[in-house]
Amino acid sequence: MFTRSAVLSVSLLAAAAHAQVAVTGIIDFAGASTVQARGIASNGSIVGYRTIGGVTEGFIRAGSVDTFFQNAGTNTFAMGINNAGAAVGSSTPVGGVSSGFIRAGDGTFTTFDASGTSRSAVGINNEGVTVGALDTANGAWRRAADGTEIAFTYTGLPGDTIFNTNATAILNDGAIIGHSVLLIGENLAGRGWLSTDSGATFSDIAAPGFAFTFAWGGNDAGLVVGDVSNSPSLALRTGFVLDRSSGAYAYFDVPGANWTVATGINDAGQIVGFWRSATDSQVRGFIAVIPAPGAAGLLTLGGLVAARCRRV
């Protein structure tokens, strides 16, 4: 349940119009050392995971009801959800190799691995297509509803050294969102990307003025969410919303956070993610909104200027 609440408005100015990102609630559970909200469906259902006493379990919040679950009694990290209530994630037995899973709306699990390679399932769309990453190799994958898989690797720019390919969301039109960690010359960096052809080609997502841009989620209205940083250790992270049509970025933070990571957004402009407190280093989830008419403003206005709350 929501045990804390906070409201933060970040004004976005464009001509005579403006939009806001408002953090409206904190997701926390008694006794949890970590709570991460990772995805949100169009009906407002939220998926994520919590860790209590070293045991991790997924959760789905539908209205005021929280459902907790594990896949075969293993540590379970739930990462994405679609409108049918199907959730995806990874489950890891103690000392074992992670496997991806799909948890159907009726609670039944389908588990799949990568021939002994640790894998994470992170995103699912309304057609049941899933995406994720190979945790122990530089590679990502797209899995159709019938189980057919395509593997791909982010190619980067000439001279880049790519360390990983993290596919984190798949939209209903099939576009895949993700990010990679890489070396640009001798400098460590993070770069988001979007692929509309199952990883054959990529469009980069790189917020101006930041060394690290991590794209995590998106919606069918053309908005992408994630986080940015200029800290090589990622000690400071700020959330963003990107309007793909205009290239405009809005940046926001949960009050009191040194991490704000936006991981999912639905078509109503509801945003979820996780944040780390600068006071006690506790990691908790959050929910935020782009209030009307702000959502429309983000989609139609170019040249938006975001007022950041702190340096990153």
Which residues, in sequence order, are CB contacts of 37 under 8 Å at separation 6+? 27, 46, 47, 48, 263, 264, 272, 273, 274, 285, 286, 287
Q: Over its length of 312 residues, how does the chain's per-residue pLDDT go in tens digits?
A: 333 333 333 333 232 222 478 999 999 999 999 999 999 999 999 999 999 999 999 999 999 999 999 998 899 999 999 999 999 999 987 667 788 999 999 999 999 875 556 688 999 999 999 999 986 667 899 999 999 999 999 999 999 999 999 999 999 999 999 999 999 999 999 999 999 999 999 999 999 999 999 999 999 999 999 999 999 899 999 999 999 999 999 999 999 999 999 999 999 999 999 999 999 999 999 999 986 544 444 443 332 323 333 333
| Domain-wise residue ranges, the chain | 207-302
Spatial distance between the Cα atoms of 19 and 246, rounded to a whole number of angstroms: 14
HSE value, Cβ hemisphere, 13 Å, CA-based, for 187: 9
